[in-house]
Amino acid sequence: MRVALGVRYLGRAYEGWQSQLSGKTVQDKLEAALAAFAASPVSTLCAGRTDSGVHGLMQVVHFDTEVERSTNSWVRGTNTFLPEDIAVQWAQVVPREFHCRASALSRRYLYVLSQSPVRPSVESGRVGWTMYPLDGEAMRAAAQILVGRHDFSSFRASACQALSPVKEVRRIEIRRDTENERCRWYFEFEADAFLHHMIRNIMGCLVRVGQGQARPEWVQEVLDARSRLIAAPTFSPAGLYFLGPQYGPEWGLPPEVTLGSGAPAYHGLP
């Protein structure tokens, strides 16, 4: 049978999602825990690979197995063998036609940015940081330039393996939670798919605009150039969270990953 899991993790201690020879990735830890619980090897696929230091609030994976367990047992049993910064949230048996990556209709990320004169300490690794005040209206104007279907080559890492740089960004929302010197900025992104480092490269450009180092219209120039040479440097992975994919209701998955079922859960954010 095919089983889907929802997984949350802090990425700071890991070399990204995808399995590596070092064994220090989220996939390596999850597959080891699943194998220990099922007493047989388990190979997983994920909805969206995350880089080293990037966190997952609702990663979705699937795997095929001949081992029969209740959904509650897949959750509690697997978590018994996982490190404390990775935890399965739910499990569900799905049709063989379901594919966590190919069946996803969209993907969502959130970047949490601390604006403060002093760098983060207890929140280190969980938030990005800028010591300079940011202009929210300027960043929102710049972000709207990127909404729509575009060639995002200027925001693509050289190691990106995507077949095409053309993606459809459906939404970028920017908000802040206070009006004083120390505040949090939240940047939410939704697209059909993302390129390698795409959000971190966009963040570098938005922060440059927010700091007044470039006009919002400059982002259009970056987009049109289709070259990383004109864009801002790649921003830190520390504040980036994969909010998860969204699927059609026909799969019967939990509300947090079902299209139109409401906003994603933000509990656990700094």
- Tell me which residues are annotated as active site: 51
What are φ and ψ of residue 91, in 5° steps?
Answer: -140, 150
CB atoms closer than 10 angstroms to residue 196: 17
- The C-alpha R_g of the chain, in whole angstroms, comes to 19
Structure tokens given for 114: 């601390």
Q: Is the CB of residue 35 less than 8 Å from the CB of residue 8?
A: no
Cα–Cα distance between 176 and 223 in angstroms, integer?
26
Long-range contacts of 252-259 (CB under 8 A, 24+ apart): 252/92, 252/94, 253/4, 253/60, 253/92, 253/94, 254/6, 254/90, 254/92, 256/6, 256/58, 257/6, 257/58, 257/60, 259/105, 259/106
